A = this chain, B = another copy of it.
Amino acid sequence: MSVFTKVSPQELAQWLQNYAVGDLVDLRGIAAGIENTNYFVTTSAGRYVLTLFEKLTAAELPFYLNLMAHLARHAIPCPAPVANREGALLGELAGRPATLVTRLEGHPVSRPSAQHCAAVGAMLARMHLAGASYGANQENPRGARWWRETAPKVAAFLDAARAALLDSELEFQFGRRTEALPRGPIHADLFRDNVLFLQQPGPPRLEGVLDFYFAGVDALLFDVAVAVNDWCIDERGEIDATCARAMFGAYVRGRPFSPAERDAWQAMLRAAALRFWLSRLYDFYCPRPGELTHAHDPEHFRRILELRRAGVCPLQ
């Protein structure tokens, strides 16, 4: 989308005095993101991204910022929040909670190969291993509790077939037992847009994972399912077995799946499809007043959900 909150170079230069990042050289708005305002910031010391939070509050942000700092400390290539001179990761600028993070190199890949999928699987396993020692806890903000709240709000807008599909899937998902699944901090939104690769000769090099603002503690397998539903599909939404095998193969080298996870896999793929169908329905039918949004077509994830209910994708 675009920049919501304006920050002038003068205002930013003043604010940066509270950081050890040198002098402001360049500031430019980033035309992406619908939840935050983002700027590229160049200083005499390096390249950063400034994020002003439009929805998340100063009380909610420590979970996300500390998680990113924790993962960066474990060599996960994510934006690392820069501490200010008092040691805080979160500041305030232009009346918004604001943070400065390191800027990563690379670009998203729109048509990923099996090699890209393998790189994502390997990184995701590393992220799950590193996350295990993260101390803070926050429920997945788009998890089962949110589904239960949100489904009634969108149900009225659906035709009979879609309403029945939603009912049926929610009933199935709420009937599952998930206690046996390994849990930990998950990214929960690992779409192609959120991973940066370096263009170079040889195998693709994954340089960054972005946007941790849907992260929460949940089944690790949910992260894998979200990624497979976006990275490893053909144009109809069917799972591309070569890409999926590449992702699984790379993932299990870092963290092998448990028997409970293998049992839960098919249902988890459905849960991951449901989560995005539901949020897209919500954004589409229930936009908040005055909100800038570019609602994605909810139908894409309805089709994915139908396919996952019908199909079989072995976790191997």
C-alpha gap A123/B21 in the complex (Å): 9
- Contact between B75 and A46, CB atoms less than 8 A apart: yes
- Contact between A21 and B83, CB atoms less than 8 A apart: no
With contact pairs A85-B133, A127-B20, A129-B20 given, residues A69 and B75 touching in the complex (Cβ less than 8 Å): no
Contact with B along A70-105 (1 / 0, CB 8 A): 101111110010110111000000000000001000
Does A126 reach chain B (CB closer than 8 Å)? Answer: yes
Q: How many whole Å from A180's CB to the nearest CB in chain B? A: 22
Q: How many whole Å from A187's CB to the nearest CB in chain B? A: 14
Which residues of B are found within 8 Å of A20, using beta-carbon distances?
Answer: 74-76, 126-127, 129-130, 254
With contact pairs A23-B253, A75-B21, A102-B75 given, residues A86 and B126 touching in the complex (Cβ less than 8 Å): no
Which residues of B are found within 8 Å of A46, using beta-carbon distances?
Answer: 75, 77
Which residues of B are found within 8 Å of A254, using beta-carbon distances?
Answer: 20, 22
Q: Chain A residues in contact with chain B, CB under 8 A?
A: 19-23, 44-46, 48, 69-70, 72-77, 80, 82-83, 85-87, 102, 122-123, 126-127, 129-130, 132-133, 253-254
- Contact between A44 and B122, CB atoms less than 8 A apart: yes
- Contact between A132 and B82, CB atoms less than 8 A apart: no
Closest B residue by C-beta to A254: B22
10 CB-based A-B contacts, threshold 8 Å: A20-B75, A23-B253, A44-B122, A46-B77, A48-B75, A69-B73, A72-B80, A73-B83, A83-B130, A85-B130
Which residues of B are found within 8 Å of A21, using beta-carbon distances?
Answer: 75, 126
- Contact between B86 and A75, CB atoms less than 8 A apart: no
Which residues of B are found within 8 Å of A75, using beta-carbon distances?
Answer: 19-21, 45-46, 48, 80, 82, 102
C-alpha gap A278/B38 in the complex (Å): 52
Q: How many whole Å from A113's CB to the nearest CB in chain B? A: 17
Which residues of B are found within 8 Å of A76, using beta-carbon distances?
Answer: 20
C-alpha gap A254/B22 in the complex (Å): 7
Which residues of B are found within 8 Å of A129, using beta-carbon distances?
Answer: 20, 85
Which residues of B are found within 8 Å of A23, using beta-carbon distances?
Answer: 253
- Contact between A83 and B45, CB atoms less than 8 A apart: no
Closest B residue by C-beta to A207: B46
C-alpha gap A70/B123 in the complex (Å): 25
